[in-house]
Structure 1
Amino acid sequence: MIPKLIWREPIPTTTITSGASAVSGTGGAAPAAAPPRRRVVTLGDITGRESGGLVVLLVAVGILTLTSDEFLTTGNLSNLARQVAIFGIIAVGELLVILTAGIDLSVGSVLGLSGCVTALLLVRGMPILVALLLGVALGTVLGAINGLLVTRAKLPPFIATLGMLGIARGATLVITDAKTVQGLPTGFQTIANGTVLGIPNLLIIAALVTVVVWFLLTRTVFGRYVYAVGSNPESARLAGVPVRTVTISVYAISGLLAGLGGILLTSRLGAGIPTAGTGFELNAIAACVIGGASLFGAKGSAIGAATGALIMGVLNNGGNLLAINAFYLQIGIGVLILVAVGFDQLNARRAASSG
């Protein structure tokens, strides 16, 4: 038996129906007070979508442990953690957008621009902390602009963020003259390459980001709003959810984490690379889907996105250890994405037929 968590929550003034309609209690005769709504949530609802990704991860780790003597070595695990950490941070930010049924194709270019701007500021003598804050702020502003384009200009998320992808990448090439920015301070490089008690700093930062976003989505009103917007934005609006504010916020957070990822990648490489982040947006989306997120919104979790990033990292790392052609790995990851989306569609059809 799966244990059940039961809580009561009051019905708001506006009652959401299964469609986009709503009945408001502000006009006409005052409606009778409704009893508290009873909602039943099982642990299977909370962890079900992540369990598939965890099974795939455990199987991959088990196979690599048996087939490669180098996989569980300290050096390889440390290298794997550093590789996966940045993808995981970007994937968690992408997840927030996907939960609202949106998409952010600009995270890779925003990562590159934030990293190169930070590198340029450091080379010109700006203090490390100030340069870091400005780099993260730049990513946040670009993400907020994406949100404004979606909510105010009414552009489809795909088009708005595709445009930002081109703008950010072009701006990066212009300000760097398409050249690598070198000569970064040693203290800055230590941020991504250092360790705490043998644990890579990058892994610690990625874990903290994942925990913060998990808490945001599961323990705050904002998290409920995010899922509500992804489920049915019109019904959410009628229920009093600030849909525009929530949408802008998730794009801003996605940009913030992309900016953070750019700074960490620049720190790890010890240089600002104008082409850094190319293709990262596709990897972030793939990690979210493999981790159980639905591109139709309202389904997914921060832990699932981080798990998806870890699965991709383990597959790539294992392929290198076993000398598997990288092209075959790309095919395998593509198949994994199709299978994940296929299962999501199948579950959605089953839920619709049973309802």
Structure 2
Amino acid sequence: MSELAGTPHAAASHTGAGSMDATATKAGPGRSGLAGFASRHGIYLFLIALIVVSGIVAPSFLRGDNISNMLMQMAPLGIVVIGQTFVILVRGLDLSVSSVMATAAVAATSFSGTNADLPAVLGLGLAIGLGTGLANGLLITKRRVSPFLATLATMIVLQGIRFAWTQGAPSGSVPPLLRTVGSQAFYGVPYNLMVMVVLAVVFGLVLHASTFGRKVYITGGNPLTARLVGIGADRVTIACYMISGGLAAIAGLVLSGFVGIVDNWVGRGFELDSIVAAVIGGVALSGGRGSIPGALAGAAILTVVFNAVLLFGLPVQFQIIIKGAVIILAAAFYMRRAH
């Protein structure tokens, strides 16, 4: 058993370095220099190139206020992407994140709307997110429901609960401190971006520098090996879904502060955007490979593209077309790397 334990842990450590490193390893030892650097850091080079090209085509793109606005828009998506990364690494996906975001936001505004309510707001929001994640994890691991159907079901259930609670017309106000965090900046640096960075560092350490993180990679990379070495794959999977749900709730609260009003559809579309961002960033849909920095780079790419579409004077509908094209390209790129 000790011999078995050594091999997957070493493999997990290698995988934890990120999808780009795994790609470089597959390419063979002869791949070095510029080609090897591009292979390992291609997603970041593409992001830089995209920013440069957008700035050339539309000079207003690089204005300080536009960059601050993009960072503010990216932060809620980035928070969701962190959680979605955990789920995809264990061969799953979470379609319920947008509904968790909206439900947490609606619950947050059902109080008096003062800063004194913030502890209750955060507590209720996290309870909704963690509870949804627990339900998703149990359905998938104990009842063997597919991740798609399980998270789709919880998404619909939450929608029904939310509309029953609000009668289709939510009312209330966002606490002032939440408004500040969601829509204000400190010398051009958005507060919600600071929240995202802190969460990225914390969960990055959990994923890339802890025993639990190694278990996540082993469970996603080879569930059979995980069971052979005594890893509770079901518990790891449930924990990943709870992380995704909890972070989605936080993102919903942050986004409600950005929007500033009560909305039954806060976070709509984030379920697909977060999956696309993670895949663009090198998180393998087959599980066991990917990193949080790469996934956040994918979120940044989506944000830059959507912003550039508007600055280029193109109709907003082009965002939907581009999103579909990005999904196709990401899937094609993933399939090419898999072979």
Residue 345 (structure 1) shift: 1.7
Give the one of 250, 254, 274 matched to 2:264.
Answer: 274
Residue 272 (structure 1) shift: 2.1
Q: Structure 1 vs Structure 2: percent identity of aligned residues?
A: 33
| Cα distance in 2 between the residues matched to 1:79 and 1:211 | 22
| Cα distance in 2 between the residues matched to 1:220 and 1:335 | 36
Q: CA RMSD for the aligned pairs?
A: 2.6
Query: Any idea what SS the aligned residue of 1:120 has?
Result: coil
Is 1:69 the equivalent of 2:22? Answer: no
- Structure 1 contact 136–260 (Cα < 8 Å) conserved: yes
- Structure 1 contact 180–271 (Cα < 8 Å) conserved: no
Return the structure number with greater strand share: 1
| Cα distance in 1 between the residues matched to 2:163 and 2:260 | 18
Residue 168 (structure 1) shift: 1.0
AA partner of residue 243 (structure 1)? A
The residue that corresponds to 2:91 in the other structure is: 101
Change in Cα spacing, 1:15 to 1:46, as seen in structure 2 (3 Å) is: closer
- Structure 1 contact 182–270 (Cα < 8 Å) conserved: no
| Cα distance in 2 between the residues matched to 1:172 and 1:261 | 17
Residue 327 (structure 1) shift: 2.9
Give the one of 143, 146, 149 matched to 2:139.
Answer: 149
| Cα distance in 2 between the residues matched to 1:148 and 1:327 | 38
The residue that corresponds to 2:130 in the other structure is: 140
Is 1:325 the equivalent of 2:315? Answer: yes
The residue that corresponds to 2:21 in the other structure is: 45
1:56-205 map, 5 Å: 56-123=46-113, 127-205=117-195
- Structure 2 contact 178–253 (Cα < 8 Å) conserved: no
Runs (5+) with no aligned partner, structure 1: 1-10, 19-35, 350-355
Query: Any idea what SS the aligned residue of 2:226 has?
Result: helix
AA partner of residue 294 (structure 1)? A
- Structure 1 contact 101–295 (Cα < 8 Å) conserved: yes
Residues 36-55 of structure 1 show CA distances to partners (whole Å, capped at 9, x for unaligned) of: 98999597626967623212
Residue 133 (structure 1) shift: 2.2
| Cα distance in 2 between the residues matched to 1:150 and 1:234 | 17
Change in Cα spacing, 1:283 to 1:17, as seen in structure 2 (3 Å) is: same
Query: Any idea what SS the aligned residue of 2:287 has?
Result: coil
Instruction: Single out whichever of 208-217 and 331-340 deviates more from structure 2.
Output: 331-340
Change in Cα spacing, 1:146 to 1:288, as seen in structure 2 (3 Å) is: same
Residue 186 (structure 1) shift: 2.3
- Structure 1 contact 50–304 (Cα < 8 Å) conserved: no
| Cα distance in 2 between the residues matched to 1:47 and 1:38 | 14
Instruction: Single out whichever of 322-331 and 308-317 deviates more from structure 2.
Output: 322-331
- Structure 2 contact 43–297 (Cα < 8 Å) conserved: yes
Instruction: Single out whichever of 37-46 and 228-237 deviates more from structure 2.
Output: 37-46
TM-score (norm 2): 0.88
The residue that corresponds to 1:241 in the other structure is: 231
TM-score (norm 1): 0.84
The residue that corresponds to 2:30 in the other structure is: none
Max Rg structure: 1
Query: Any idea what SS the aligned residue of 2:293 has?
Result: helix
Is 1:288 the equivalent of 2:281? Answer: no
Residues 180-207 of structure 1 show CA distances to partners (whole Å, capped at 9, x for unaligned) of: 3233332331121232343110111111
| Cα distance in 2 between the residues matched to 1:141 and 1:59 | 41
Return the structure number with greater helix share: 2
Instruction: Single out whichever of 204-213 and 100-109 deviates more from structure 2.
Output: 204-213
| Cα distance in 1 between the residues matched to 2:173 and 2:247 | 25
